Structure 1
Amino acid sequence: MGVFRAATVQMCSGVDPHRNIETMERLVREAAGQGARYVQTPEMTGALQRNRKALDAILREEKDDPVVAAGARLASELRIHLHIGSTAIDRGDGMIANRGYLFSPRGETVVSYDKIHMFDVDLANGESWRESAVYTPGAEAKSVSLPFAELGFAICYDVRFPELFRAQAVEGVEVMSLPAAFTRQTGEAHWHVLLRARAIENGLFVVAAAQAGIHEDGRETYGHSIIIDPWGKVLAEAGSTGETVILADIDTAEVAAARARIPNLRNARSFKLAPRIQAGGGAG
């Protein structure tokens, strides 16, 4: 649909939403000042807080949430499409939504997206996470037609579910967003290969803003905010720590070109899974 400059904001969000908002504003202004029309912040921009009681104390419903208000105001002031990767929102039923927001240059909410796949894992170093104990998963994949691109939505752990990306690519999505707070352990092993694979197998751009460094609540995130083209080439990448902005110019014509060279979306065939064959024992 056109050429536009995209930016990701890399943060190391703490437990105080107001301090995080100050950091977000500074970095978003920096990105807009460098010509970005679409700016994405990481998963849990508002706060990273493992303690449930402390998290409950800072939670707000959508209409009262300071991150949502700041995002709408900034988008309007800077005349950009601002994508708050996600923030914790009080659903009013004792559970929380891990919810991202895209704001238009008029400060209006274009779309909100609730993370679908919950990070319920036990890692090799004893690190354990149970997102489903706190957050209610989303149930809808979402995309939006912007003036410069067809944009799809995913958050962090969603990247391990290629069917989410494939469904949106088949519907014409050209750019997939993936704001994240990847753990250092899983990021070192899988961040780059997963994101490049999603870009290559679907012939689309991937834009992923990340949390980075050691956070106030004790967790460590991998960083490496990244922008990848439909051929799997890394266009821009941040480091493993530090608050920063990366930018890349995205030409959506490259999506059609990649899909023409490798037309796997068009060549896909349905199939059925045959019953597993039971092999016999060895020779007697």
Structure 2
Amino acid sequence: MEILSIAAIQMCSVHDRNKNLNTARVLMEKAVQKGARLIALPENFSFIGQERENITFAEERETGEIVHFLKKFSMKHSVAIIGGSVPLRSSSKAKVTNTCLVFDQSGVIIGSYDKIHLFDFHLDDKTVYRESHYVKHGKHIETVKLFGHIMGLCICYDLRFPELFRKLMLRGMEVLFAPSAFTMETGKDHWEVLLRARAIENQCYVVAPAQYGRHNDERISYGRTMIIDPWGRIMAQCQDMEDVIVCEIDFAFLGEVRKHLPCLKHIRRKLFFLGEA
């Protein structure tokens, strides 16, 4: 498949999980109507509240309400889903995993990724995030194969660590998914720059579904969901509203970029302990 229609969802999730799932359903149905065959949701699409509450809302990987919601939608509409991220129970009773689940067109979970880099940020006394207090670090990078192509997975804060994406590229990544909930403070200066850099340096498409707006008295997300091509150009971008963007990903164009500017072949892999070319 050389052309694939991909949708990225932008939401303003809140404490009410039922409300969030209803919003997600409406936006996902809109994506289906626009012809999307693969739909990507933002980080924490089902719930945003106090960080410690993720433990209360955590589910089992195979049997939870959110998993059932995504599986059912995928099966009904025959679409693949990059499930943003959801809190799943871990081996520690005091922590959850922040996990992106991937469903194929028949609703089968074909892969998952636990967020590796956790967002601990202290801007001032009123702006403090301590994700690592309640979330367990992931330990493995992950790619999945959908529609005959390799998709790389990351979540939000991971975007600041380029070594992760070089490893994903060496595994054959053609499209990077970056479900996120960037803060307003960091997003206004860093969001677009990081996304475009990841696309340019790895010569891949980047699909970045994001949270936007005020979730509660303490938290505001930047938004600006984007889809970016391998040349680093923004193909589509959401404004400050709950919405969906849909773009056609052209794998032939990706091949042309890598052919005419073959920087991925010029990596000094042995020098940087990346193996032989």
TM-score category, normalised to shorter length = over 0.9
Counterpart residue number, 2:78? 79
For the 8 Å contact 1:10–1:209, the answer to whether it is kept is: yes
Counterpart residue number, 1:171? 171
Counterpart residue number, 1:129? 129
For the 8 Å contact 1:3–1:148, the answer to whether it is kept is: no
**Displaced runs of 4 or more, over 3 A:** 54-57, 270-273
d(CA) in 1 for partners of 2:271, 2:172: 26
For the 8 Å contact 1:2–1:149, the answer to whether it is kept is: no
d(CA) in 1 for partners of 2:91, 2:269: 42
For the 8 Å contact 1:61–1:92, the answer to whether it is kept is: no
For the 8 Å contact 1:15–1:217, the answer to whether it is kept is: no
Quick one: which amino acid aligns to residue 4 of structure 2?
A: F
Counterpart residue number, 1:114? 114
For the 8 Å contact 1:152–1:168, the answer to whether it is kept is: yes
Counterpart residue number, 1:62? 61
Counterpart residue number, 2:99? 99
Counterpart residue number, 1:266? 265
Give TM-score scaled by structure 2 length.
Answer: 0.93
Counterpart residue number, 2:206? 206
Secondary structure (helix, strand or coil) at the match of 1:250 reads: strand
How far does residue 148 in structure 1 lie from its aligned partner after superposition? Answer: 4.5
Secondary structure (helix, strand or coil) at the match of 1:67 reads: helix
d(CA) in 1 for partners of 2:108, 2:88: 18
Secondary structure (helix, strand or coil) at the match of 1:63 reads: coil
Please give the residue correspondences for 1:114-263 in structure 2 after superposition, counting only pairs within 5 Å.
114-123=114-123, 126-216=126-216, 218-239=218-239, 241-263=240-262
Deviations 1:203-250 (A, max 9, x none): 0000000000000363000000000000001000001x3210011110
Q: Judge which range, 70-79 or 81-90, deviates more.
A: 81-90
Secondary structure (helix, strand or coil) at the match of 1:89 reads: strand
| Alpha-carbon distance change, 166 to 69 in structure 1, aligned in 2, over 3 angstroms | same
Alignment: residue pair count? 271
For the 8 Å contact 1:227–1:236, the answer to whether it is kept is: yes
Whether 1:88 aligns to 2:87 is yes
| Alpha-carbon distance change, 220 to 250 in structure 1, aligned in 2, over 3 angstroms | same
Deviations 1:50-92 (A, max 9, x none): 152x443333222342111100100010100011110111225
Secondary structure (helix, strand or coil) at the match of 2:135 reads: coil
How far does residue 256 in structure 1 lie from its aligned partner after superposition? Answer: 1.6
d(CA) in 2 for partners of 1:103, 1:194: 27
Counterpart residue number, 2:275? none
Give TM-score scaled by structure 1 length.
Answer: 0.91
For the 8 Å contact 2:30–2:244, the answer to whether it is kept is: yes
d(CA) in 2 for partners of 1:2, 1:217: 45
d(CA) in 1 for partners of 2:265, 2:232: 19
Quick one: which amino acid aligns to residue 216 of structure 2?
A: E
| Alpha-carbon distance change, 238 to 86 in structure 1, aligned in 2, over 3 angstroms | same
Deviations 1:166-194 (A, max 9, x none): 11112211000000000011000100010
- Unpaired segments of 5 or more residues in structure 2? 273-277
d(CA) in 2 for partners of 1:183, 1:248: 25
How far does residue 40 in structure 1 lie from its aligned partner after superposition? Answer: 0.3
- Unpaired segments of 5 or more residues in structure 1? 274-284
Secondary structure (helix, strand or coil) at the match of 1:62 reads: coil
How far does residue 131 in structure 1 lie from its aligned partner after superposition? Answer: 1.0
Identity %: 37
**Quick check: which has more Rg, 1 or 2?**
1
For the 8 Å contact 2:51–2:134, the answer to whether it is kept is: no
| Alpha-carbon distance change, 111 to 270 in structure 1, aligned in 2, over 3 angstroms | closer
